[in-house]
Structure 1
Amino acid sequence: MTDTTLTGGKPVVARFCPSPTGNPHVGMARTALFSWAFARHHGGRFVFRVEDTDASRDSEESYQLLVDVMRWLGLDWDEGVEVGGPNGPYRQSERMDVYADVARKLLDAGLAYKAYDTAEELEERREKARAEGRPSGYDGLHRDLTPEQRAAYEAEGRQPVIRFKMPEKDWTFDDLVRGPITFGAENVQDFVIVRANGHPLYTLTNPVDDALMGITHVLRGEDLLSSTPRQIALYEAFAEIGVGDGSTPRFAHLPYVLGSGNRKLSKRDPESNLLGYRDEGFLPEGLLNYLALLGWSIDAERDVFTVAEMVEAFDITRVNPNPARFDLAKCEAINGDHVRLLPTEEVERRLVPYFQAAGLFGDEVSGEQAALLAAATPLVHERMGKLTEAVEMLRFLFVDEADFTVDETDAAKQLDEKGRAVVKAAHEALGALDDWTTEAIEAALRASLVDGLGLKPRLAFGPVRVAVTGRRVSPPLFESLELLGRERSLSRLSAVL
């Protein structure tokens, strides 16, 4: 059911509008999540468009990564790139005529003007303003040029930018996260909306798209807070020239995400790389759960919840405006909780691409591989925090014997002279077994190593575990030996000797 209480009767329309520059990062995903959850909570629409007007930084590869990541996260959209809609196109590079038309209307209405200042002139006047203790923004020198003055500048070969004419008043708005915010008129000077080469800037394209796409709520990062009064002024101007429906969106500025050293997490920080989490075996459910905690919580006593539960409970006014620190250990712990919440059959299905990436499975999974994975997954389901950990724990079952290796560090600790003596006794005990089952294997090894050699279980089974799995950390030993099979198990024990 649509909730229109925040929009004066209109359906909620929220958006996500990243730029395709570099790899997607976790701060971007947190913004997308909050915007999506807000729209879904209120029964509204979610728009996914792409701001790709900077040809020097944008790339088609990054664009595709954005689409892939949104699909992986499960943040579906009602209109936008790839799915279309009534307000397309949804890539800014395909909307240049739209921005040119709006800029022309602003000029014709006297709400914007051409400014011919050179970079050197601007910097000289800014330095003087700073020296005199005045704001160093644009001083409006070219606001009211006569036709003769403009002609003279153009005769010099100067190419003008287009600046928006800011109304000389203070700007106050009610931020849904931070409450009432006021910017004094002296701190919001005229700003450029179109470069001298005719290319529109974010300052124009973003509010134009919001107006034409009927966006009612803008959820975005705190770093864009200072641009809000400029955008509000543009929305008011759009109402005068008939762009959009004349309304102004509500704003919510989300807190910074901090990394190590309590500094703002940047794209260059390893923990910021969103694709890295996918490749490392994080579940989208687990990652979204943790990202939601960066500024919001479902309950003071509860950290683990589903995406559906978040949507049901999401209240933008409960987002904490203070910076949120990204804690990788907690992110992994919450992901592990979500792994354990999945049915074992679903974990098995999701493991397949990681076994393929590791070269253990081909493009087609054989029936034997599928059966072995189905039998082995329950052994590691409760033990992993990430899906890639299952690959490492179960590698010994799927690797070709010629490629099987034993971790050198683990071998040094477990397969010394005493360890090899344990392996020898295990080889003899298991070699005499006719019934190769978990129960029979356990009985034989306990009788030989614990009772026969008088060893504690940890000392008895550690060398055997390293010999047959290659690692000290593995699934339960007796079940592992059964799955590995008699021939391969005895062969690996023999290899150590």
Structure 2
Amino acid sequence: MSFKLIEPGKVRVRIAPAPTGFLHIGLARTALFNYLFAKKYEGVFILRIEDTDIERSDPEFEKNILENLKWLGIEWSEGPDIGGEYGPYRQSQRLETYAKYLEKLLTENKAYHCFCPEEELEAQKQYQMSIGQPPIYSGKCRDLPLETVQKYLAEGRPSIIRFKTPAKKIEFDDVIRGKIEFDTSLIGDIAIAKNLATPLYNFAVVIDDFEMKISHVIRGEDHISNTPKQILIQEALGFPRPIYAHLPLILGPDRTKLSKRHEAIAVSEYKKQGYLPETIINFIAFLGWNPGTEREIYSMPSLIKEFSLEKVQKGGAIFNIKRLDFLNGFYIRQRSVEKLTELCLPYLIEAGFLKSHEEVEEFHLGAPHYEISQTKELIDLVKLEKIV
């Protein structure tokens, strides 16, 4: 598929984090690739918050995600903080919309209430796995008579809503990976909601992408198995299919899943450690994407100009902390002494080497001297410039 044929202004992409943790490198990389793609084709980049998991969602995590995306220079055109034509942009504020489509599927006999106890479902799952079969639902409640369903609901029996998965093969063209095929017999009747007021991920994301007119879904390869489920729901509701592109996983140098032991931490922690935003952007841009040249340093405008999903690799991207340090050293050396001083002051004050801004007499950026609180020595910026 060639993106040269994409009409400028027609692209609408999104990043849809769940506020259950801080902004991490993987999510930042996905956000960047969506942002670059949207900017390249004069499209729209949307931020959507998937907060239907009430127990795990936390406003502090959402705040961290938004603040650090902005710090990186990744700005959105529509989102929970600025609104937009297709809002609201928090799933918790879209429950009535989900209920409408759930009722539609139930009315059209494309979904049904499942009353099987959790213990029974878990036992079935464990048995299937023990004999080497995929853990799929047996379909026990699939064809319950309407009178029985109404009776159980009236009695208040606990239930979930399942999608009636048709027996067929699902194929889709992935921009990065080519044609991918799934047999729905290995999927079974998937759960799409706990009840009319509590949709589950694979259902809610389909509704949101349709309602927000998403043209391309660019996300991690860990979502590949979700794609056929979402396509089935799209087809049942008569929705158009977006174009999919699944990015490679980010791996540690030992080619295992990236974790803290590989020095991969939250973006906010890198910020505290003194890494610059342009460093992070340049670094994560190369986690799976390669322009095909020897060039290593890219500004955001350069990335927008050069970025292409066709140059994203299939294999895992290797996280190399030494490269991150190299890039940070480069960008630090590009800063003026005044700017470096401005960047260093918060760290010096926190460590107790400098007094607070208010206590430093006649403090202002560009002043010739700064007083070190512990020794009362003065930092001479002229000498500092020669050292730097």
Q: Is the structural similarity TM-score above 0.5?
A: yes
* TM-aligned CA distance change 1:299 to 1:77, over 3 Å: same
- Map 1:18-417 → 2, pairs under 5 A: 18-130=17-129, 133-151=132-150, 153-154=152-153, 157-196=156-195, 198-239=197-238, 246-259=239-252, 261-266=254-259, 270-359=263-352, 360-364=354-358, 366=360, 368-370=362-364, 398-402=371-375
One-letter amino acid of the structure 1 residue matched with residue 373 of structure 2: D
* TM-aligned CA distance change 1:232 to 1:361, over 3 Å: farther
* TM-aligned CA distance change 1:125 to 1:223, over 3 Å: same
Aligned-residue offset at 1:198: 4.1
SS of the aligned residue for 2:64 comes to: helix
Aligned-residue offset at 1:199: 1.5
Residue aligning to 1:437: none
Residue aligning to 1:479: 383
Maintained 8 Å contact 1:50/1:92: yes
- Map 1:379-458 → 2, pairs under 5 A: 398-402=371-375
State how many pairs are aligned.
384
Aligned-residue offset at 1:197: 8.2
Please, what is the CA RMSD of the aligned residues? 3.0
TM-score, normalised to structure 1's length? 0.71
Maintained 8 Å contact 1:20/1:59: yes
Runs of 4+ with >6 A deviation: none
Aligned-residue offset at 1:369: 4.1
> Larger strand proportion, structure 1 or 2?
2
* TM-aligned CA distance change 1:192 to 1:269, over 3 Å: farther
Maintained 8 Å contact 1:21/1:57: yes
TM-score, normalised to structure 2's length? 0.89
- Indicate the larger mover: 61-70 or 120-129: 120-129
Residue aligning to 1:5: 5
Computing the radius of gyration over CA atoms, which structure comes out larger, 1 or 2? 1
CA offsets 1:155-192 (integer angstroms, 9 cap, x no match): 76422100111221111111111111111122222111
Instruction: Find the aligned partners of 2:64 and 2:74 in 1 and give their Cα distance.
Output: 14
> Larger helix proportion, structure 1 or 2?
1
Higher relative contact order (CA 8 A, sep 6+): 2
Unaligned runs of 5+ in 2: none
One-letter amino acid of the structure 2 residue matched with residue 175 of structure 1: D
- Map 1:483-494 → 2, pairs under 5 A: none
* TM-aligned CA distance change 1:65 to 1:300, over 3 Å: same
Maintained 8 Å contact 1:369/1:398: no
CA offsets 1:345-367 (integer angstroms, 9 cap, x no match): 44444444444444525244857
SS of the aligned residue for 1:252 comes to: strand
One-letter amino acid of the structure 2 residue matched with residue 5 of structure 1: L
* TM-aligned CA distance change 1:137 to 1:209, over 3 Å: same
Instruction: Find the aligned partners of 1:295 and 1:232 in 2 and give their Cα distance.
Output: 26
Aligned-residue offset at 1:121: 2.2
Maintained 8 Å contact 1:159/1:197: no
SS of the aligned residue for 2:149 comes to: helix
One-letter amino acid of the structure 2 residue matched with residue 400 of structure 1: S
Unaligned runs of 5+ in 1: 240-245, 377-396, 405-467, 470-474, 484-497
Instruction: Find the aligned partners of 1:22 and 1:268 in 2 and give their Cα distance.
Output: 18
SS of the aligned residue for 1:272 comes to: coil
